[in-house]
Structure 1
């Protein structure tokens, strides 16, 4: 079989996922038949409002929350911005200090940087070589001026799962609110906001087979937070703008499907991931697995290949029909190495040679076979022409 005959192998599910047919079917009536504005009072609009409230209940059930604690917005980035800027605005008389980690998504880091320009102080916690935050470091960083701790549930690049419940306990022991960016975790990590001590949680529909441009922020009842988007009185006066009814309905159905059997889903996906990791490390010398070896997302395999550039790996894989990433999708066009990999202590030159493969529901063992047949050859070719490869160094020979 020629490479051109190989169907595309999509292994970039951390960037985005396809929309499941069941989700599209749930959304369809709200594009046409039930197109009423859910904020209107007449009967025609009530069908739209019913769809929104059903989705709210679906999201709440997936998080162990109450429906009135769920607020819809346009995606994970908006939810992160709302959580961080909203708490900062509401609590500025109490304090001006935020604790976060060095490996957060830019949707958390950039709002924190914006607040620093307004006079707030931010502590960016280090991580260990696996990308994990030490809850003890969180406790040491908290001061009497701390108003928020924000640590992601699972990292989007290296897949490391954080000790969220322990961090939540530390924050609450000091009377500090705890926010977690769970964009990568929903559908892969069981979440209960009460058990995990979470006060605010961000999620995004397109990461778990829902529509793009949809998201939600969980806000624990009683949490003081200012609005981010001002205008009308939608979302019980918390988030202005006419509701994206089809998108919200789709998000609700998607999260219901994604959380129906997390254990079974993880078991199937992790088996392919583990085989991928095992054979790449075995077949390709001078290769490192990034992230925690066991406390990681079931679909994530992130490697660093010495002597090669990640962008070149992507281009050659794409020529073979394989879709992957060198890091987070939002920064994959950047020539700068991943801030996440650098934070784990990876040398600058090795961070440049990273590859993220993230599996999804449609991937099969045949896909893994194909990637394993192509990737060693791709790395071997690149190392043969790389000026970084040492003379006589151990490299994978191309066929």
Structure 2
């Protein structure tokens, strides 16, 4: 099968697998004082440094706390921001991931003022509207670096500046851009990342917190991870995360060039389709397309040789059209005529060409019988 769903998850890098395998047998608790424990703790320290370096914090300007994934990290960022301050307002964007929007809505049901900023037709936030919403009551501004459905890159620097000018914190969901798109970490107070979106294992992510932030613990117990998130860490998952991050840093230029070449080919092969979202301020490994008269779900069912999607994996099966596509102004019909193709390091030119042929043929059959 041709795999073109890199925004949902990525293939595990062989290097990450190799880093993980020894820890199936090395069973020491990394929080124990004996030799087995110290060996496991040392592996976690190495992984922490590798992930931090790829994130852009090789000099230790923040703390990296491992979590079960980016959803947990985002929940912690939003809830923690409210718990630590008397400010009672959160500002975010209509195209954010569900882990941010749903957490923000949960807080709103408990009395927190929530402002969800609309986006323009290209998927970018209107900075004038954002400036009017971010005020002295704002505790946190939350914005994605790269949108998981349409690949649009938000103006993180400008949004962070608005937040800081109002005395608010800025949180960035950096999951889709981590290791692929430059993140201005110096303007962030918090950032969420995930291993499995970067050829690492599922089940582990991290929340990065700028030094100096007094942050409420997420889980109470044994006081692990600087007392912020208690619980025994998995050396295997940490090692896989670290190896995947280190590999992404080593291959950054090579991967970018490869994905750019695949994007150029895709643009030509899907010339009869319309790109959803901005054509320029976007991560080119994410191609969200629509074609009038095409039923995306039927297309996915018809083209079983290719793994692709109609939007976020988190929302699949809900029966509802993508909230991201509706936010950029698409009708329900247009949203249901849209597909998302995600490619990356291990995708070949031949796979892109074959997938495009299969998808275009299936789309043509739909249109012929419409």
Is 2:37 the counterpart of 1:13? no
Q: Secondary structure at the match of 2:250?
A: coil
| Rounded Cα–Cα distance in structure 1 between residues aligned with 2:204 and 2:102 | 20
Asked whether the 8 Å contact 2:61–2:210 carries over to 1, the reply is no
- Of the three residues 293, 296, 307, the one matched with 1:307 is 293
Residue equivalent to 2:28: 36
| Rounded Cα–Cα distance in structure 1 between residues aligned with 2:108 and 2:282 | 31
- Of the three residues 347, 351, 355, the one matched with 2:335 is 351
Asked whether the 8 Å contact 1:189–1:262 carries over to 2, the reply is no
Gaps of 5+ in 1: 1-7, 387-399
Asked whether the 8 Å contact 2:5–2:340 carries over to 1, the reply is yes
Q: Secondary structure at the match of 2:66?
A: strand
Is 2:211 the counterpart of 1:221? yes
Q: What are the within-5 Å matches in structure 2 for residues 373-392 of structure 1?
A: 373-386=357-370
* Aligned residue pair count: 368
TM-score by length of 1: 0.89
| Rounded Cα–Cα distance in structure 2 between residues aligned with 1:130 and 1:317 | 29
CA displacement 1:222-241 (0-9 Å, x = unmatched): 12332222222111110111
Greater alpha carbon shift after TM alignment, 209-218 vs 301-310: 301-310
TM-score by length of 2: 0.96
Q: Secondary structure at the match of 2:139?
A: strand
- Of the three residues 318, 338, 342, the one matched with 2:326 is 342
Is 2:74 the counterpart of 1:80? yes
Q: What are the within-5 Å matches in structure 2 for residues 259-274 of structure 1?
A: 259-274=249-264
Asked whether the 8 Å contact 2:150–2:288 carries over to 1, the reply is yes
Is 2:316 the counterpart of 1:322? no
| Rounded Cα–Cα distance in structure 1 between residues aligned with 2:62 and 2:334 | 47
Gaps of 5+ in 2: none
Q: Determine which structure has more spread, i.e. the larger CA radius of gyration.
A: 1
| Rounded Cα–Cα distance in structure 2 between residues aligned with 1:40 and 1:271 | 48
CA displacement 1:133-189 (0-9 Å, x = unmatched): 133322211122100000000000000111111211221122110001011011210
Which 4+ runs in 1 deviate beyond 4 A?
Answer: none
| Rounded Cα–Cα distance in structure 2 between residues aligned with 1:345 and 1:157 | 14
| Rounded Cα–Cα distance in structure 1 between residues aligned with 2:201 and 2:294 | 35
Residue equivalent to 1:3: none
Cα deviation, residue 87, structure 1:
1.1
Cα deviation, residue 198, structure 1:
0.5
CA displacement 1:208-230 (0-9 Å, x = unmatched): 00000010000011123322222
For the aligned residue pairs, the C-alpha RMSD in angstroms reads 1.3
- Of the three residues 84, 90, 109, the one matched with 1:90 is 84
Cα deviation, residue 366, structure 1:
0.6
Greater alpha carbon shift after TM alignment, 11-20 vs 65-74: 65-74
Cα deviation, residue 279, structure 1:
2.4
Cα deviation, residue 308, structure 1:
2.4
